[in-house]
Amino acid sequence: MKAQSTAEMVGSRPSSRISNASSTPETSQSPNPALELCGLSKSFTLGGGLFKRGRTLGAVNDVSLRIPRGQVMGLVGESGCGKSTLAKMLLGLTSPTEGDVLVDGEPLRGADQKALARHIQPIFQDPYSSLNPRKRIAQIVGLPLRVHGIGTAREQATRVAETLDVVGLPRRAAEQFPGQLSGGQRQRVAIARALIMRPDIVICDEPTSALDVSVQAQILNLLLDLKTEFGLTYLFISHDLAVVEHLVDRVAVMYLGRIVEEGSREQIFSAPRHPYTQALLDSALTPEPGLGVPDIGLGDAMPDPSNPPSGCAFHPRCPKAQAICQQTRPRLEEFRGGNARVACHLA
């Protein structure tokens, strides 16, 4: 029985997708977006004790997003804005307090961790801490196959070798330990581990920010190639706006747990509507000598998420804030025929 189901699993996800690059990616077959978040929220309780109620910290509040198949959604925002909590919920590492995650139209709530891992895989920021230093590369990359009981040991070894080829690692890397590889090579290992389950969606959490610039370009090229080759959908979390502009189709901007603006790359980068998006774009320092460092006119750092400001959470730092911004929280309104959204009274 077990052997049968294993064979079925291997059969149901044909390996042709890795060995035969020309097979058509599963685009435009399903009307559903690859990934959809509906009113996703996550709150934590801080402090508190036996007789004392703790404070509530809303890390992610009512986030709704649709990522069409084969597209790249960029997610930007400062540290503490909830990007990583959002990523953790998508990976099933923490469960949402409210809302649903839909993969290809199917809600993931109640779905077990294993089922989730077949669809969504992560690539983390730091390839130094995300790989077990005591395991060989072949073991690290092959672990998902063993966990899911896919194929025989021999088939698993073949799949590992194929995947190492796909990410541009030499075959001999299979027998090495992470400590013997450079940062760029380690990130390739992390990408191989994410791809070996042939996921539909990859969550890239700052995948190049721990790498040197010359290596960063290699990894970004690889991510773009893999996307085309396997028809992948990416959620690309980054603080590097030049990289985001290069890679993504759409961008969502988060501030203090909420999406404040979302739109196509062109719309966000050429006509941002939210003052926070504008400030983020201004503070991206492009390599153009003579321009100096702009005065972006933002006040102090992020406010305390456990005690968010009234009204629009951005108003204490906003150079354009009016009286209404202190009183009422702006709703995320659609514009451009529903193709873009912004939450600002003044936009």
Partner 1 sequence: MSRLEVNNLLEVNNLLEVNNLRVDLPVEAGTLHAVRGIDFHVERGEMLCLVGESGCGKSMTSLALMGLLPRKARLTADRLQFDGIDLTTLPERRRSDLRGARMSMIFQEPMTALNPAYTLGNQLCEGLIRHRGVSRREARDRALYLLERVGISAAKDRLEQYPHQLSGGLRQRVMIAMALMCEPDLIIADEPTTALDVTIQAQILRLLRELQQEFGTAVIFITHDLGVVARIADRVAVMYAGEMIESAPTPALYANPAHPYTRGLLSCIPAPGKTPPGSRLQAIPGVVPSLVGSVEGCAFRNRCPQAQPACERTPPLMSLPGDHRARCHYADRPVPAPLQPEMSS
Asked if residue 218 binds partner 1 (CB under 8 A), the reply is: yes
Instruction: Give the interface segment with partner 1, choosing from 44-52, 114-122, 131-139, 213-221 (CB under 8 A).
Output: 213-221
Encoded one letter per residue, x for contact with partner 1 by CB under 8 A and - for no contact, window 151-190 reads -------------------------------xxx------
Q: How far is the CB of 150 from partner 1 (least distance, A)?
A: 28
User: Residue 102 Cβ, how far from partner 1 at the closest point, in Å?
Assistant: 27
Residue span 51-80 as binding mask against partner 1, x where in contact by CB under 8 A, dash where not: ---------------------------xx-
Least CB distance to partner 1 at residue 283 (A): 4
Within 220-279, which residues bind partner 1 (CB under 8 A)? 220-221, 224-225, 228, 239, 241-243, 245-247, 265, 269, 279
50 binds partner 1 (CB under 8 A): no
Q: Which is nearer to partner 1, 91 or 230 (CB)?
A: 230
Among 282, 308, 309, 321, binds partner 1 (CB under 8 A): 282
Using the minimum distance from each CB to partner 1, give the nearer residue, 156 or 277.
277
Interacting span for partner 1 (CB under 8 A) from 2-10, 132-140, 149-157, 281-289:
281-289
The verdict on 147 binding partner 1 (CB under 8 A) reads: no
Q: Provide, rounded to whole angstroms, the least separation between the CB of residue 46 and partner 1.
A: 16
Per residue, what are the HEC states of the chain?
CHHHHHHHHHHHCCCHHHHCCCCCCCCCCCCCCCEEEEEEEEEEEECCCCCCCCEEEEEEEEEEEEECCCCEEEEECCCCCCHHHHHHHHCCCCCCCEEEEEECCEECCCCCHHHHHHHEEEECCCCCCCCCCCCCHHHHHHHHHHHCCCCCHHHHHHHHHHHHHHCCCCHHHHHCCHHHCCHHHHHHHHHHHHHCCCCCEEEEECCCCCCCHHHHHHHHHHHHHHHHHHCCEEEEECCCHHHHHHHCCEEEEEECCEEEEEEEHHHHHHCCCCHHHHHHHHHCCCCCCCCCCCCCCCCCCCCCCCCCCCCCCCCCCCCCCCHHHHHCCCCCEEECCCCEEECCCCC
Contact flag: residue 24 with partner 1 (CB under 8 A): no
Of residues 304 and 334, the one with the C-beta less far from partner 1:
304
Closest CA relative to residue 185, chosen from 168, 161, 166, 201? 168
Question: Dihedral through CA 167, CA 169, CA 170, CA 173, nearest 10?
Answer: -130
The answer to whether residue 46 forms part of the interface with partner 1 (CB under 8 A) is: no
Least spacing, CB of residue 146 vs partner 1, in Å: 31
Say how many residues touch partner 1, by CB under 8 A. 47
| CA atoms of 265 and 250, how far apart (whole Å) | 5
Q: Minimum CB separation from partner 1 for residue 242, in Å?
A: 5
Binding-site ranges for partner 1 (CB under 8 A): 78-79, 182-184, 212-218, 220-221, 224-225, 228, 239, 241-243, 245-247, 265, 269, 279-280, 282-296, 298, 300-302
